[in-house]
Chains A and B, each alone.
Chain A
Amino acid sequence: MSRRAQFKFRLYVAGDTQNSANAVANLTALCRARLPDRYNIEIVNVFREPQRALAEGIFITPTLVKVLPSPTRRIVGTLSQMEPVLHTLGLNSVST
């Protein structure tokens, strides 16, 4: 049942800058491919909600925070390199 766990992501982006747009696209594509129907993405625009970034200690954008399932994990960047992303999210086993 744990394989069926719901994933909750929070993606901090800096408006619609290139890196941020890429990150949104890469994350969405990944979720659709690997976690169909069991993911939730919240996108936080730090330009609009700087206090949240401050409170969370987000200084690099884009930053992906895996809120659920625990433990919390952070990945910075456009998520263009899949290998470290899958490894960090614990999704390697899912594919095999």
Chain B
Amino acid sequence: MSNPNKAPTGIAGFDEITGGGLPRGRTTLLVGGPGSGKTILALQFLVHGVRECNEPGIFVAFEETSKRIVANARGFGWDLAKLQKKKLFFLNAQPMPDLVQSGNFDLGGMLAALEAQVKAMKARRIVLDALDIILSLLPDATAKRREIYRLHEWLLAHNLTGLITAKAGGDEMASFNEHSFSFMQFMVDCAVILNHLVVLGISQRNLRVQKYRGTSFDENEAAFLIGQHGIEVPISRALRRVDAKATKERVSSGVERLDTMLGGGYYRAATVLITGFSGTAKTTLSGAFAEAACKRGERTLFVSFDSDAAEMIRNLASVGIRLDRYVKNGCLRMVSARSITGSAESYLVRIKMLATEHAARCVAIDPISTWSKSGSDLSAQSVAERLIDWSKAEGVTLVCTRLLDEMSSQPDGSPLQISTIADTWIHLNYLMQAGERNRGLSIIKSRGTAHSNQVRELILSDGGVTLADTYTAGGEVLMGTLRWEKESAERLAHEGTEVAGKLKRVRLDAEEAELQVRVKSLQVELEAKQVEKALLAHTKESRKGELTRDRTRMGKLRGADAAIPEHIGRTP
């Protein structure tokens, strides 16, 4: 960034637009309407020269007295009185109000006086503030042109890096006519135009480098603002854009199931957009992300446009996200941006400044949609884009939420169309079913990641944030009580089958036992039968013997009658 041909202004963004600063040893014209910040920019250029570049400077004040300028500069923390001793010289060159003119005159006297001063303090930079005032005294265009030419020659001859400011453009072309203005633009090596617009009641400042001889520069209008330390020009994109190092590193979203859905979490340095209606737990998800980051020991910045830091901590604690300890140990910085009013541009600058100050690796902004309310949609969008560019270049993982209008059902109907440039887009929604509102989470896109396409139910409890599987039935996703019912039904069904199985087993056991018993009894029966059979055989045998014996006996009896009575007497 140290180009020998450029004189840095110390305004980082401006030096980047111009590739290092103003042309050294040449003249720059700075034009803008009243209150557009010309004097501040010029003064900043001088102060930076004195403080950082060892280049003494002279400020020629044609409009405001040096006293007032010094007083105003104190507001930006520039102690000019200290610098004034040797390195910074103020020349009060306001024309007296009672000045009488008669005939032609020129600026020879001023240049002579300045010449002496330049030599005495070895000045390298010079600002001629509100040159239009002095030029307006000159009678005609020729005289103006001649004096501009004289001044320019003088600056070149002394190898001074000159900055001439003049009122022009805007509504007031009053004192500085078109003619000499265009002549000056033609003559100088660099011309910068400052613009101050009010769009929908929001102030917006822009600057544009109109020409810069012999160097490339960012030709687009760049927004800037007048901040606590003077002019701040947010880093321009075109020149700064380094292809962000694409990393495969994942960082946790703070919700385990969500990490799984995303295939391991967000990518490091990715931009995550969480959209949803009011109350869909956008803040909770950003809070979970912040907590996870702090748990890993990464410095985190949480910017809330909705509520105070204390409120946020309390509210998030109710869902098991405890941020207070990280605020205490300095890992987490909570910023309530409700108090900041201003353009989207000023938000961007503040956020970047805070993040840089805090050396944050993770940043959550809740919600970013506030921006589209302030100022024009166009600028809000460009600011959002630059925020994303910046976070990528810095390797900052960015989670921003966006509130959706209840009325619009389109998830991306709002003008702030950052969803196209965000890497991961998570959409939260309410699902109305069976008299309940349940939160649904779906991943609409996630670049470079296989991700689940399912809608999950987001459940908040004092134990934290969890995602539940949802059931689909008849093409509809079931959540809340319906999901619970379905879950219980399944559980019951499962239990039922188990019991049935057990029952069957018992019955089979019983049957088996019965059969065994039957087998045994049959065996016993069989034995009985066999016994019986044996008995039968035996009886038959003995009867046969008896019969034989009887017959023998009868024969015997027939032989001897005497034996008959005995036999008769024995048988009834």
Question: Of the 9-residue stretches B8-16, B110-118, B190-198, B434-442, which lies at the interface with chain A?
Answer: B110-118
Query: Are the CB atoms of A78 and B112 closer together than 8 Å?
Result: no
Query: Are the CB atoms of B96 and A74 closer together than 8 Å?
Result: yes
Q: How far is the CB of A23 from chain B (nearest CB, A)?
A: 8
Contact partner, A84, options B100, B105, B106, B134, Cβ 8 Å: B100
Chain B residues with CB under 8 Å of A73's CB are: 98, 100
Q: How far is the CB of A58 from chain B (nearest CB, A)?
A: 5
A53-B109, A59-B93 known; A75 vs B100 contact (CB < 8 Å):
yes
User: With the chains together, A42 CA to B409 CA distance in Å?
Assistant: 85
Contact of B104 with A by CB under 8 A: yes
User: With the chains together, A57 CA to B92 CA distance in Å?
Assistant: 7
Query: Are the CB atoms of B103 and A79 closer together than 8 Å?
Result: yes
Chain A residues with CB under 8 Å of B98's CB are: 73-74
Chain A residues with CB under 8 Å of B134's CB are: 59-60
> Which residue of chain A has the shortest Cβ distance to B112 in the bound complex?
A46
Chain B residues with CB under 8 Å of A60's CB are: 95, 105-107, 109-110, 134, 137
Looking at A51, A59, A73, A74, the one whose CB has the most chain B CB atoms below 10 A away is A59
For chain A, give the interface size range.
35 or more
Q: How far is the CB of A15 from chain B (nearest CB, A)?
A: 7
Contact partner, A46, options B99, B100, B108, Cβ 8 Å: B108
Question: Count the B residues whose beta carbon is within 8 Å of the partner chain — how many?
Answer: 27
User: With the chains together, A59 CA to B113 CA distance in Å?
Assistant: 7
A54-B117, A59-B93, A60-B137 known; A14 vs B102 contact (CB < 8 Å):
no
Contact of B404 with A by CB under 8 A: no
Looking at B107, B109, B137, the one whose CB has the most chain A CB atoms below 10 A away is B109
Contact of A40 with B by CB under 8 A: no
Q: How far is the CB of B135 from chain A (nearest CB, A)?
A: 11
Q: How far is the CB of A32 from chain B (nearest CB, A)?
A: 18
User: With the chains together, A15 CA to B101 CA distance in Å?
Assistant: 20
Contact partner, B104, options A19, A46, A75, A82, Cβ 8 Å: A19
> Which residue of chain B has the shortest Cβ distance to A53 in the bound complex?
B113
Majority secondary structure, A binding face = mixed
Chain A residues with CB under 8 Å of B113's CB are: 46, 50-51, 53-54, 58-59
> Which residue of chain B has the shortest Cβ distance to A14 in the bound complex?
B108
User: With the chains together, A59 CA to B96 CA distance in Å?
Assistant: 11
Contact partner, B109, options A63, A80, A85, Cβ 8 Å: A63
Looking at A53, A80, A81, the one whose CB has the most chain B CB atoms below 10 A away is A53
User: With the chains together, A23 CA to B109 CA distance in Å?
Assistant: 14
Chain A residues with CB under 8 Å of B103's CB are: 19, 22-23, 26, 77-81
Q: How far is the CB of B385 from chain A (nearest CB, A)?
A: 47
Q: How far is the CB of B90 from chain A (nearest CB, A)?
A: 12
Could you tell me which residues of chain A, from 32 to 49, have a CB within 8 Å of some CB in chain B?
A: 46-47
User: With the chains together, A88 CA to B114 CA distance in Å?
Assistant: 29
Contact of B91 with A by CB under 8 A: yes
User: With the chains together, A66 CA to B103 CA distance in Å?
Assistant: 17
Query: Are the CB atoms of A61 and B92 closer together than 8 Å?
Result: no
Chain B residues with CB under 8 Å of A63's CB are: 105, 109
Query: Are the CB atoms of B106 and A61 closer together than 8 Å?
Result: yes
User: With the chains together, A8 CA to B116 CA distance in Å?
Assistant: 27
User: With the chains together, A79 CA to B103 CA distance in Å?
Assistant: 5
User: With the chains together, A79 CA to B451 CA distance in Å?
Assistant: 86
Chain A residues with CB under 8 Å of B99's CB are: 74, 76
A59-B93, A59-B107 known; A80 vs B102 contact (CB < 8 Å):
yes
User: With the chains together, A85 CA to B93 CA distance in Å?
Assistant: 22
Query: Are the CB atoms of A54 and B102 closer together than 8 Å?
Result: no
Q: How far is the CB of A96 from chain B (nearest CB, A)?
A: 20
Contact partner, B100, options A57, A74, A80, Cβ 8 Å: A74
With A46-B112, A59-B109 known, 8 other A-B pairs at CB within 8 A are A14-B109, A51-B116, A54-B91, A62-B105, A62-B109, A77-B105, A78-B104, A88-B100
Interface residues of B (CB under 8 A from A): 91-93, 95-96, 98-117, 134, 137
15 contacts between A and B (CB under 8 A): A14-B111, A26-B103, A46-B108, A59-B109, A60-B95, A60-B105, A60-B106, A60-B110, A60-B137, A61-B106, A74-B98, A75-B100, A77-B105, A84-B102, A85-B100
